[in-house]
Every structure is written in C-alpha cells, then in structure tokens.
Copies of this chain bind each other. A is one copy, B any other.
Amino acid sequence: MLTAKFDQLVKQLRILPGVGQKSAQRMALHLLTKKRPQGMALAQALDEAMRDIVECQRCHSFSDDAVCPLCQDPRRDDALLCVVETAADVMAIEQTAGYRGRYFVLGGHLSPIDGISADDLNIEQLVWRVKQEPVEELILATGTTVEGQTTAHFINEAVSRHVNKVTRLAQGVPMGGELEYLDSMTLGQAMQNRSFL
C-alpha cells in the first residue's frame, strides 16, 4: 500500500499465527516508527532460530546443539520419562516446575484421517530407548483428544513388556473450574476417578 518493502513486510508478518492484515500493518508501522533497532534484532533472532535450532537427538524436542539442555541436565531423574506430542507440551510441563524427569517428544499423534501412522512419529526410537535405558515410569502425557488417547494406548502396547509402570495424566475438573460450565464428559470422568480428601 505505501511502498513495496512495507507491503512485503506486512505480507510476511501475516504468517505469524493470529496475525491478520490489520495487526500486521500495525506491527509494521510500530516497528518502522519507533523500534527500528529492535526490529533488526528481531530479524536476527528469527533468522538464527530458523537456521540453528535443530531436533534434540535424544528427546526430539528443540535444541541449539545435538542434545538439548533438558537431556544434558545431570540433576534430572533418568528413571522418569514423560512422553508428549510436541515441544510446546514440554514447555507447558516445564512451566509447572513440578516435574524433574526426562522428556520424549513424539512429533504428533496417530491420525489415520491425516495419514499419520506410527512410522511418522518417533515411536520406534521411544521403544528402543525404554529397552536400552532403566526407565522405571513412563508417563503418557499425550492429549485427551481421541487421537491423543489412541496414541497413548498404542504406545502402552508397544512398551509394556519393557517398562514396569506406565501412567497417564490425571483427568478431572480443572483448577478454578465451575462445575455448571464443565462439559459432561470431563465431569463424568472426574466423578468416576474421585479420590479421598
């Protein structure tokens, strides 16, 4: 609209999730008017991240090096392995600051409709790992969608001979949840899995 380079910037900003034409224009104008050095720093950080961040060889999460900081950390408990769908899930669990074991990222969930089979996920590497290493508990922290649950059952079948304990995340009423607004599936689960006070 204003200049070719401005239009190009707006167009490229729209690849960001949740950013439409109006927000992209606002971002571009904001950076150009007041934040050029920061805009350049963002360009550099983006370029470096896209080029240099690789998949960790051990857990398949994101890493700057061949093995990520979480896999390298000697204070982590090797006996606990938490299986998640994506690196975003690793980050979400890390933010709870309550888990001190290791992670393993599947790279998605089984989904026949989308043509994603076990070979498309890191399931073989996971089975290999629990065979080789002394994992005492495997926590299946896949999503509670149909695909996530199917994936969890599939993995359970594949690893049950090699791991003593296979667990999954508790399902129930979320914190701050008002019962009347909760879906009946969740409420039913919570009732079934009720525990002593």
Could you say which residues of chain B place their CB within 8 Å of the CB of A38? 12, 15
Residues of chain B contacted by A18 (CB below 8 angstroms): 23, 26-27
Which residue from chain B places its CB closest to the CB of A29 in the assembled complex? B88
Q: Does A76 contact B (CB under 8 A)?
A: no
Interface residues on chain A, number (Cβ under 8 Å):
58
Max count, chain B CB within 10 A of own CB: residue among A4, A9, A46, A70: A46
- The reply to whether B4 and A64 contact each other, CB–CB distance below 8 Å, is yes
Answer whether residue A69 sits at the interface, using C-beta atoms and an 8 A cutoff. yes
Main secondary structure of the interface of A (DSSP, over half): helix
User: A27 to chain B: which residues have CB within 8 Å?
Assistant: 16-18
Q: Are A40 and B45 in contact (CB under 8 A)?
A: no
Does A106 make an interface contact (CB < 8 A)?
no
A62–B30 contact, CB under 8 A? no
A-B contact pairs, 12 of them (CB 8 A): A3-B64, A11-B45, A12-B42, A12-B46, A15-B38, A31-B46, A32-B49, A36-B50, A40-B46, A40-B50, A40-B51, A42-B46
- A interface list, Cβ under 8 A from B: 1-6, 8-9, 11-13, 15-18, 23, 25-33, 35-53, 61-64, 68-70, 86-88, 90-91, 94-95
